Each structure stands twice: as structure tokens, then as C-alpha cells.
């Protein structure tokens, strides 16, 4: 298991605007050394005068532990609230307080296995290094990218260079095919006789990915997008109802037990609720 480190003054090496997003490259050799696809970092937002206390979690888009630009990691930010808006205004040469690598990475097949990767919005970011890892072990890769609109897509050109082709969908039809990205998944599975599906993006998309993979009797590993503040399992803001190997369901912490889960074990219909049959639900005084 990789031990996370805190870098209180990680220099921003580069900032790149990509559609609606901002991609940061940060000098963080200790984090880069332990990186695996699926890991994330927790970044402090706001300065010493800020009331923004909780960190923001971002999936790692890549790392360069060696070579010309050794010791950097990259992640993608979508500016929504005050914290991410503050972060999106940072410039190269400034420093960030970063903790990582965090979470459990995507599990790789034991050998070559055809795989379909499904990214929603900037959820495609951690799937790029995953595709590289799969190809390195000889696995054919099919890539699907979806978003609400063209400016919300991320990584199309990178993916085309990496795997040769990509299916793009947008809700409004402003890029690629009009519709949901999961609508293209069954054909993609059939085209390469996929043995596994990986996904990262909005929760409804991940639920659909899991349902479709189940219909084809293949595995689905998904990286969930839960609010993860501390990143180390202390604050309990990211709990998710998940079925264990013993058949019983528990709240697990997405940041340490995930963010990657077997899609069949997540109780998607109960996300955000307190089901009565969860282990410990009676002690929490609730139940839906």
C-alpha cells in the first residue's frame, strides 16, 4: 500500500485551460513515485485568511516519476464553488498544499483483457493513465467520452493519440453523437468482446455502467465522485453504502476504501440515504 505524503509547498509547474476546466501540473516527486491510475490528491484551498477549511479531492491525470520532467503530477479542476474557483485562479510558480497519493487504484487484469473505458466530463482524466497501463500489458482498449456539452469534454485528442479512436457523445449534440455516453457502451463491449469495463464520472453514469456490464456478465470497476475532504478517512463526508464480501452492507469511506469500487457492490439506489439493513444503522438512529 502506498503511503501518502503532505507537501505543504508544492510548486505549480504549469497551468493549462481545457474547455471548462483547468489542468494543473505540480512538482511533487514523492507523490509521483507512488502513483497508480485511480489515485487522487487532496488540495488545500484558500489562503491563511480564508474560512475554507476542507480540502478538495482531484483524481490524478498522470505522473512523471522519471525522465525529463521528473517528479510532477497533474490533475484537473472544474471551478464550481468558492474553493475550486480560488484554485482555478492559481498561476505557475505559486505553491499548493497537497496530500497524496490517496485512495485505492484501479485493479488491473492479471493478463491481457479487452477493456472499455467510459469517462463522463473530466472523469476521463484518471482513465488516460489507466489506458496506458492496460495497453502496456497487452490489453485492447476502447474509449468512450461523454459530457453535457463540448466544453465539458476532457481528453479527446490525448485519447485519440493513445488508443487510435474514441466515441464522443454530448447531451446537447455540440460534439460527437447526441445522447448519453452509456448508450454507446453495449456496442463497444460487443466490438472488442470486452472482459471488463472501467468508468469515472457522475454517479448516475456509473450506475448505468454497472447495470450494462452486469447484463453482459462482465466486471465493472468505477471511480465514484463523492465529496472527499480529508482524504484519509477521518471526516466521514464521503461514506457510501456498499455490499461486503460477506453479503452484508456497510457504509464505507470512499477516500480510503475507494474511490474505485466494483459496481455491483455499490447500492446506487441508497446513495445519500441510511438504509435500515446497513450494519450499524440502528446505532445511528435512522433508516429509510
Residue 122 shares a structural domain with residue 95? no
Residue 178 shares a structural domain with residue 194? yes
pLDDT at site 283: 52
Does residue 280 register a pLDDT over 70? yes
Residue 57 shares a structural domain with residue 114? no
Residue 197 shares a structural domain with residue 136? yes
Please state, in angstroms and as integers, the Cα–Cα distance from residue 215 to each residue in 85, 91, 246, following that order: 40, 46, 23
Residue 187 shares a structural domain with residue 221? yes
- Picking from 179, 197, 225, the residue at the C-terminal end of a domain is 225
pLDDT at site 247: 87
* pLDDT (average), residues 237-256: 90
Residue 118 shares a structural domain with residue 17? no
> 129: domain range?
106-225
The CATH number that applies at residue 200 is 3.40.50.80
**Looking at per-residue confidence, does 168 or 50 come out higher?**
168
Number of structural domains the chain divides into: 3
Instruction: Record the cell numbers describing residue 32, joined without a space.
Output: 509521483
Residue 153 shares a structural domain with residue 218? yes
pLDDT at site 287: 53
**Mean pLDDT lowest among 18-32, 57-71, 92-106:** 57-71
Residue 236 shares a structural domain with residue 220? no
pLDDT at site 46: 84
Instruction: Record the cell numbers describing residue 282, joined without a space.
Output: 440502528
Task: Please write the tens of the pLDDT for every residue from 173-222.
Answer: 999 999 999 999 999 999 999 999 999 999 999 999 999 999 999 999 99
* pLDDT (average), residues 13-28: 96
The strand pairing partners of 142, in sequence order, are 116
pLDDT at site 282: 67
- Picking from 60, 82, 102, the residue at the C-terminal end of a domain is 102
Instruction: Record the cell numbers describing residue 284, joined without a space.
Output: 445511528
- Picking from 195, 225, 255, the residue at the C-terminal end of a domain is 225
Residue 22 shares a structural domain with residue 80? yes
Residue 212 shares a structural domain with residue 244? no
Residue 114 shares a structural domain with residue 214? yes
Rounded CA separation 53/287 (Å) = 30
Residue 120 shares a structural domain with residue 215? yes
The CATH number that applies at residue 45 is 2.40.30.10
Given the DSSP bridges, would you call strands 141-147 and 115-120 parallel, antiparallel or unpaired? parallel
Amino acid at each position: 500500500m502506498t503511503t501518502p505524503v503532505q507537501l505543504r509547498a508544492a510548486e505549480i509547474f504549469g497551468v493549462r485551460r481545457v474547455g471548462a476546466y483547468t489542468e494543473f501540473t505540480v512538482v511533487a516527486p514523492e507523490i509521483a513515485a507512488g502513483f497508480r491510475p485511480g489515485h487522487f490528491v487532496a488540495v488545500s484551498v484558500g489562503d491563511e485568511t480564508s474560512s475554507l477549511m476542507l480540502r478538495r479531492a482531484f483524481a490524478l491525470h498522470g505522473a512523471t516519476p522519471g525522465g525529463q520532467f521528473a517528479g510532477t503530477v497533474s490533475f484537473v479542476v472544474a471551478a464550481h464553488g468558492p474553493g475550486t474557483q480560488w484554485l482555478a485562479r492559481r498561476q505557475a510558480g505559486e505553491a499548493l498544499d497537497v496530500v497524496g497519493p490517496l485512495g485505492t487504484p484501479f485493479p488491473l487484469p492479471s493478463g491481457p483483457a479487452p477493456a472499455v473505458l467510459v469517462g463522463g466530463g473530466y472523469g476521463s482524466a484518471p482513465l488516460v493513465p489507466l489506458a496506458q497501463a492496460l495497453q502496456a500489458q497487452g490489453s485492447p482498449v476502447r474509449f468512450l467520452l461523454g459530457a453535457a456539452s463540448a466544453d465539458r469534454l476532457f481528453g479527446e485528442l490525448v485519447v485519440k493519440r493513445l488508443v487510435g479512436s474514441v466515441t464522443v457523445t454530448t447531451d446537447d449534440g455540440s460534439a460527437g453523437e447526441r445522447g448519453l455516453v452509456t448508450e454507446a457502451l453495449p456496442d463497444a463491449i460487443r466490438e472488442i468482446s470486452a472482459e471488463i469495463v472501467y468508468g469515472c464520472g457522475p454517479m448516475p453514469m456509473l450506475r448505468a455502467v454497472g447495470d450494462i456490464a452486469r447484463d453482459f456478465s462482465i466486471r465493472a470497476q468505477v471511480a465514484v465522485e463523492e465529496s472527499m475532504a480529508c482524504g484519509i478517512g477521518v471526516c466521514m463526508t464521503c461514506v457510501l453504502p456498499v455490499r461486503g464480501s460477506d453479503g452484508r452492507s456497510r457504509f464505507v469511506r470512499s477516500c480510503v476504501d475507494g474511490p474505485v469500487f466494483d459496481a455491483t457492490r455499490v447500492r446506487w439506489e441508497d446513495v445519500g440515504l441510511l438504509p435500515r439493513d446497513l450494519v450499524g444503522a440502528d446505532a445511528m438512529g435512522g433508516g429509510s
